[in-house]
Structure 1
């Protein structure tokens, strides 16, 4: 048997629990992972709440990104073998918060020795999101990027990608996250009333890319700061399209690219808290508040 953290009904965290299940077996094109670590994301709670639909078969394994060791290989898989260390997104409710899980081989990337399992587990969802958003338009060194929600896991990675490309990054976050945001080289702007005016003082000619991780009224106030409407991209709010911007576009090579950036020491995922599998509920609660700084990870075994 194998442990997995699940929700048994759509709704609130009261429906979460740790369960035993038979060790899943990979089908064609799949890998069975012995999970070492799994990243925690706001989307985990949104899935449980039914915001992405309620057509899944219950119980649903939680956790959307993981890193681990290949324990079995499905038919037709090439390029991976038992014992390989890999990282991948976790599809179809298989559950990354688990001792074992199933991932698609085509979506997996070999984990470099220089990257810990804990850091690797933050990249399939958070890392690729940061990569895709910051590459929404081509920017040149010296141009300005504004990151809304810069103190979270995705925001901090986005700011560091900005530093890699020698952009001038302005990061909006709560005052409690000032030091963390500034550690990336970004210019910190406190969130809250008047944040857009504070950004205008720093960038009177506008910003070349607005990266939105917050949505709602924050996005609406920030969108006019862009030099063009098409330079606003969001991972949080489809309303960005009404404002002339766009939602995140998925680059199939994003995971391998962001993994390489971490491997070469150019990006730190900023894991600020880890929890054992038995305390996955606490990890989820820490992220669901919306106030977690950096990345939270569930470590297994």
Structure 2
């Protein structure tokens, strides 16, 4: 039977296990994909810990397969799907987990893998890169403006810095001192995290901050908000809607469309976006891949590679 990596209850790493699963069947509007690579994201371990996304209700039916993004080869095409055929190389968001030999993807949030783009790089685009794209586009800043990106050394932040630069923005990025060279290598002015963040940002950007894309929340978000004259230019993917709205900003609006995935892939093709996959693990070491992200010190993206 096909293998998958799942959590069997809410809790810590002890709740994780490999399980045997039936080969899934795609429903209407869906694709069955033989997974070649799956992205690892902080939301994966947070969900295992019991975190609920806004709007989630009830308790999931355990076991729950980890992962919300994957790339692979189409094995079956569900009813009503057009534009995809068996054998196509695709990437997208998963319906019910990607740390597995097979995954189901909704065709509406799936795109073709361009020639020259690896499954490993494509697998990390649907969550982090697409979230970065939606946030930077949502700020709608003109070329030449300055944007502050908090959490610039993480998976979403790495993509957000590169996309902001590609769209003609100057970037100030906050991250731990240990990620200074990494963040500066992306083209951002690095500002170390910690107390009195706003003062350090003002010193690094004497011309002011025109927009903030927050990926951290909490006190970092509160300080970042003080840097803006126009709070409508405050967007967060790191805080609850209530917290960011209290400060006059808004939660990032996710497009979740194949068109966004196509555009992000084109940016990679043009060299404007490097997915920055820094470490890969085989499916058999999925737990180790999660620990690398859960520890909070990963630079760039972690990927689980599956199959041939």
Superposition TM-score tier, normalisation by shorter sequence: over 0.9
In structure 1, the residue matched to 2:66 is 62
**1:258 equivalent in alignment to 2:264:** yes
Runs of 4+ in 1 over 4 A off after TM superposition: none
2:288 is paired with a residue whose SS is helix
**Maintained 8 Å contact 1:127/1:154:** yes
Please list the CA deviations of residues 80-123 of structure 1 after superposition, one character each: whole Å capped at 9, or x if unmatched.
011000001112xx210111011111111001012111110111
The aligned length equals 299
Structure 2 distance, partners of 1:39, 1:163, is: 24
In structure 2, the residue matched to 1:268 is 274
**Maintained 8 Å contact 1:35/1:67:** yes
In structure 2, the residue matched to 1:300 is 306
Structure 2 distance, partners of 1:143, 1:260, is: 24
**1:114 equivalent in alignment to 2:116:** yes
In structure 2, the residue matched to 1:7 is 7
Instruction: State TM-score, norm by structure 2.
Output: 0.94
In structure 2, the residue matched to 1:87 is 91
**1:232 equivalent in alignment to 2:234:** yes
CA offset at residue 195 of structure 1? 2.3
**Maintained 8 Å contact 2:198/2:226:** no
Structure 1 distance, partners of 2:302, 2:180, is: 18
CA offset at residue 193 of structure 1? 2.2
**Maintained 8 Å contact 2:147/2:169:** yes
Structure 2 distance, partners of 1:56, 1:25, is: 20
Structure 2 distance, partners of 1:182, 1:16, is: 36
Q: Report the aligned-residue RMSD.
A: 1.2
Structure 2 distance, partners of 1:147, 1:137, is: 12
**Maintained 8 Å contact 1:206/1:227:** no
Unaligned runs of 5+ in 1: none
Matches within 5 A, 1:1-301: 1-52=1-52, 53=56, 54-91=58-95, 94-238=96-240, 239-251=243-255, 252=257, 253-301=259-307
